[in-house]
C-alpha cells in the first residue's frame, strides 16, 4: 500500500492551495465563497448549487468551450484569466451570437500561491464585467504538486444567436474579400518573448481583447458578412486553411496588405516566423461580399479594436483550393498550415 | 534564449499525442476529425465551427461545469470518460433539468498513448449515447510532457428546466425525510483500492452512473421533492453540511439505516473511513416531504439504479444546525465535514 499517495503530507501554508481545497468540503467551500463568489458575485452564481438556473434565452442557443493553459500565466498585455474570458466571448461573437453566460472550471496545482490565484480571479472578474457577461457556475479541482503546471482554466460560454445571423464557409463566393481587424501575431510573439526573455519582449504586447462589440457594430451595419473566425492558434493561416477546406475555394492574399506592427515584423524576421502562422487573441478574420468590403473596413476602423483593419485578400475559384500569397514582386507562393515548430501553451 | 522550449524536440511517434496536436493546425484538425468527430458525430458538432449553434431550448436554461482529473484513468466500474459525462448529467438532473447538450474540453499531456485517448473517447461516446445527450462542441489542448498528468477533461452541460421544478435548501422543512438512492462510498473506495492495489479492490466497483432517468421517474411521480444533490466529493456528509448551512436546519441520520455494501463496510473499517465522507458518482441525496417519503423510496427502489434506496434521516429544527447521527445504541454524534486526510483526484 502506497501510503504517501493515500495520506499525502498536506501543504498547510494557508497562503497556498492545498489538496483539501479540492475535496468538496470545508476548505473548498471557503475558497469558493471567499475568493470566487466574492469576485464573480451575481444572482445566478449565488445559490452555489450544482448548476445555475438561468432565464429562457428566447432564441437559438450558441455554446462554446475552451481550455486555457497559457504559460507564463501573466504576460505583457494580459494573463490567463482575461484570456480565458476573451476566448469564450470571441468564439461566441464570431458565430453570430451575443455572449451572455460563462462557466469557469479551475484545475489548480497543489502549492499554487493563493495570491497568484487571486490575481487571476480578479482579472477574470474584470474581463467578464467589461464584456457584460456573468460567470454563473464553476468547478474547482486540485491535483497534487507536479501533476499540473500551476493553473488551467476551462471556460464555456453560451449566448443567443442574433436574429438573421447566417454565417459559414458555405456562404463564401469567389470575389468575396478577406478582412482582418488589425495587426497580426502580437499575442504569440508576446508570449514567446515573455517566456524566453527575448529583447523584443518589451515592445510586443498581447492583443487579447473581446471582439463582440466590434462584431456587433459590423453585423448591424448591414455589411454582407459571410464568414467570421478569431485567428487564435495557428494564426490567420489556420483560419484560411479551414475556410479553404470547407468552401472548396482558394484564399489569395496580398503580402503588402498584411497589417503587421514594426516590432512584430522585426521579431518574425529575427526568428524566421511568418506572422500569418502566429496566434492572436483579439483579431477577427471576416469574409465579406465584394461590394461590402470598403464599408466594412471603414466600420471596423472606426472602432478602437479595428484601427488597423484591412482587406488582406480575396476568395477565388482557382484550383486546387489552397492558401496563396502574392509577394510585392507579384510572385505567388503557397501558405502551408503551420505544423513545423510547435509553440506549446500559447493560449 | 531557451531553445529547447521554443523548439522542443517533438515526439514523432504517431501513436502518441504530440505537441502539434494542440497547435490548431493540421494535426489538430486530423485528431478532431478522425477521433473526436468520428465518435461524437452529430449535426451540431459536424460544422466544427468555433461554437455550436443549437435550437431554441424553449424553457429556462440550466448550466453546469465540471473538470475530471481522476487517477487512475480506468478503474473498476468506469473511467474518466464516462465519469466526466455522468458528472455533468447528474448536476443538471439534481437541479431539476433535462440534460440536453454537452461540451468537452480535453487537456492532454504530450506523449499520451493515442490508444488511451481512444479508449476514453469511446467511453465518453457510449456514455453520452446511453444518456441521450449530444456532445456539440469541444476543445483540445496539449501541454508538454510533465506539465499535466495524462489527461484532464472538462465537461459543461446544459439542459432545460423541467416545468414546475422548484428545488432548493430553502424549501426544506422540519420533519422532511432525507433519502439516498443506494449504497454509499463505492466510487471513492474503488478508486482508492485501484490506486493503492488494495485487496478489496476486486469486490468494490465505482457506482458511476447517470441519474437523470431515476430522477425523472421520481419527479414525475408527484412526490413532494424539496432538494436534491448527487453526493460526489465529500460524500453525503458534504451534501448535508451544505443543506444545513443553507437551510438553518439540522440533519439527523440513523446509522442503522445507511445502505453500505459489506465490501465497502469492510474497507471503511479497515481504513478507518466513514462511508458518509466518501465520494459517490451515481448516488442521489433527496429531501422529500414526510408524507411523500415512503412512496418516494418505493419509486426509487423500482428503478435499477435505486434498488437500495432508503430513508436515512430527517430534517429537524434542533439548534445549532448540524449534521448528527444516532448510533444503534441511541447515542448521538456529530458528523463533521470531511477535511482530514484528503484523497486527491477522486473525480
Task: Please state the ipTM of this predicted complex.
Answer: 0.94
Output the pLDDT for position B1.
35
Q: How confident is the model at residue B260 (pLDDT cuts 50, 70, 90)?
A: very high
pLDDT at A1 over 50: no
Contact call for B344 and A22, based on CB within 8 A: yes
pLDDT at B4 over 60: no
Give B33-52 pLDDT, tens digit per residue: 999 999 999 999 988 888 99
Domain ranges across chain A: 19-48+58-161, 169-334
Output the pLDDT for position A202.
67
Give B112-137 pLDDT, tens digit per residue: 999 999 999 999 999 999 999 999 99
A-to-B residue pairs, Cβ atoms closer than 8 angstroms: 298
Mean pLDDT of the region B306-318 = 98
CA dist., res. A81 & res. A244, Å (int): 33
For A178, the 3-state DSSP assignment is strand
Residue of chain A with shortest Cα separation from B2: A196
Contact call for B61 and A49, based on CB within 8 A: no
Give A19-78 pLDDT, tens digit per residue: 989 888 788 888 999 999 999 999 999 888 889 999 999 999 999 999 999 999 999 999
Mean pLDDT of the region B131-144 = 97
Q: How confident is the model at residue B339 (pLDDT cuts 50, 70, 90)?
A: low
What is the rounded end-to-end Cα distance, in angstroms, of chain A? 39
pLDDT at B342 over 70: no
CA dist., res. B347 & res. B344, Å (int): 8
What is the rounded end-to-end Cα distance, in angstroms, of chain B? 39
pLDDT at A160 over 50: yes
Q: How many CA atoms lie within 13 A of A262 on its CB side?
A: 1
Q: Give the residue from B17, B134, B154 with the most A CB atoms within 10 Å of its CB, the best one to mutate.
A: B154
Q: SS3 string of B171-231?
A: HCCCCCEEEECCCCCHHHHHHHHHHHCCHHHHCCCCCCCCCHHHHHHHHHCCCCEEEEEEC
pLDDT at A2 over 50: no
- For B154: left if phi > 0, alpha if psi spans -120 to 50, otherwise beta; the answer is beta
pLDDT at B21 over 80: yes
* Burial of A317 per CB tally in 10 Å (0-12, 13-18, 19+): exposed
The CATH code for residues A169-334 is: 3.90.650.10
Contact call for A24 and B238, based on CB within 8 A: yes
Q: How many CA atoms lie within 13 A of B75 on its CB side?
A: 34
Contact call for B143 and A344, based on CB within 8 A: yes
Output the pLDDT for position B341.
56
- Tell me which residue in A25, A237, A344 faces B339 most closely, judged by beta carbons: A25
Contact (Cβ atoms closer than 8 angstroms) between residue A101 and residue A54: yes
Q: Give the residue from B342, B343, B345, B346 with the most A CB atoms within 10 Å of its CB, the best one to mutate.
A: B342
Residue of chain B with shortest Cα separation from A231: B24
CA dist., res. A28 & res. A22, Å (int): 6
Output the pLDDT for position B2.
39
Q: Please name every residue paired with A135 in a beta bridge, in sequence order, or none if there are none.
A: A102
Q: Mention every residue, 6+ apart, whose C-beta is less than 8 A from residue A41.
A: none
Å between B278 CA and nearest CA of chain A: 10
pLDDT at A337 over 90: no
Chain B residues whose CB is inside 8 A of the A138 CB are 65
Tell me whether domains B19-48+58-161 and B169-334 share a fold.
Answer: no
Output the pLDDT for position A10.
54
Chain B residues whose CB is inside 8 A of the A345 CB are 141, 143-144, 147
Output the pLDDT for position A250.
98
Contact call for A25 and B237, based on CB within 8 A: yes
Residues written for chain A: 347
Q: Does domain A19-48+58-161 have CATH number 3.30.1330.10?
A: yes
- Tell me which residue in A24, A101, A233 faces B234 most closely, judged by beta carbons: A24
pLDDT at A205 over 60: yes
pLDDT at B232 over 80: yes
Q: Please name every residue paired with A142 in a beta bridge, in sequence order, or none if there are none.
A: A108
Output the pLDDT for position B300.
98
Contact (Cβ atoms closer than 8 angstroms) between residue B322 and residue B244: yes
pLDDT at B13 over 50: yes
- Tell me which residue in A47, A105, A229 faces B67 most closely, judged by beta carbons: A105
Output the pLDDT for position A208.
98
What is the four-CA torsion angle of B67, B73, B76, B81, rounded to 10 degrees? 50
Give B60-83 pLDDT, tens digit per residue: 999 999 999 999 999 999 999 999
Amino acid at each position: 500500500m502506497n501510503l504517501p499517495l493515500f495520506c499525502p503530507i498536506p501543504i498547510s501554508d494557508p497562503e497556498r492551495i492545498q489538496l483539501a481545497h479540492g475535496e468538496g468540503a470545508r476548505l473548498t467551500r471557503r475558497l469558493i465563497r471567499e475568493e470566487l463568489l466574492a469576485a464573480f458575485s451575481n444572482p445566478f452564481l449565488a445559490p452555489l448549487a450544482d448548476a445555475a438556473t438561468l432565464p429562457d434565452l428566447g432564441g437559438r442557443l450558441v455554446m462554446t468551450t475552451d481550455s486555457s493553459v497559457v504559460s507564463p500565466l501573466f504576460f505583457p498585455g494580459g494573463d490567463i484569466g482575461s484570456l480565458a474570458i476573451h476566448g469564450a466571448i470571441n468564439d461566441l461573437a464570431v458565430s453570430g451570437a451575443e455572449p451572455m453566460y460563462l462557466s469557469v472550471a479551475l484545475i489548480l496545482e497543489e502549492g499554487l500561491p493563493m495570491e497568484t490565484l487571486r490575481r487571476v480571479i480578479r482579472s477574470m472578474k474584470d474581463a467578464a464585467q467589461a464584456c457584460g457577461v456573468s460567470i454563473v457556475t464553476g468547478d474547482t479541482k486540485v491535483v497534487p504538486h507536479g501533476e499540473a503546471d500551476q493553473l488551467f482554466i476551462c471556460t464555456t460560454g453560451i449566448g443567443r444567436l442574433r436574429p438573421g445571423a447566417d454565417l459559414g464557409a458555405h456562404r463564401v463566393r469567389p470575389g468575396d474579400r478577406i478582412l482582418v481587424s488589425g495587426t497580426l501575431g502580437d499575442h504569440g510573439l508576446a508570449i514567446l518573448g515573455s517566456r524566453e526573455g527575448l529583447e523584443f519582449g518589451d515592445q510586443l504586447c498581447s492583443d487579447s481583447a473581446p471582439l463582440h462589440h466590434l462584431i456587433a457594430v459590423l453585423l448591424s451595419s448591414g455589411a454582407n458578412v459571410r464568414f467570421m473566425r478569431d485567428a487564435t492558434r495557428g494564426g490567420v493561416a489556420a483560419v484560411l486553411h479551414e475556410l479553404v477546406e470547407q468552401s472548396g475555394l482558394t484564399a489569395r492574399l496580398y503580402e503588402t496588405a498584411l497589417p503587421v506592427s514594426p516590432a512584430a515584423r522585426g521579431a518574425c524576421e529575427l526568428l524566421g516566423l511568418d506572422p500569418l502562422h502566429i496566434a492572436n487573441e483579439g483579431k477577427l478574420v471576416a469574409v465579406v461580399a465584394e461590394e461590402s468590403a470598403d464599408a466594412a473596413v471603414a466600420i471596423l476602423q472606426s472602432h478602437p479594436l479595428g484601427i488597423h483593419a484591412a482587406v488582406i485578400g480575396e476568395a477565388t475559384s482557382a484550383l486546387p483550393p489552397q492558401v496563396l500569397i502574392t509577394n510585392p514582386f507579384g510572385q505567388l507562393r503557397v501558405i502551408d498550415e503551420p505544423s513545423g515548430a510547435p509553440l506549446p501553451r500559447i493560449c
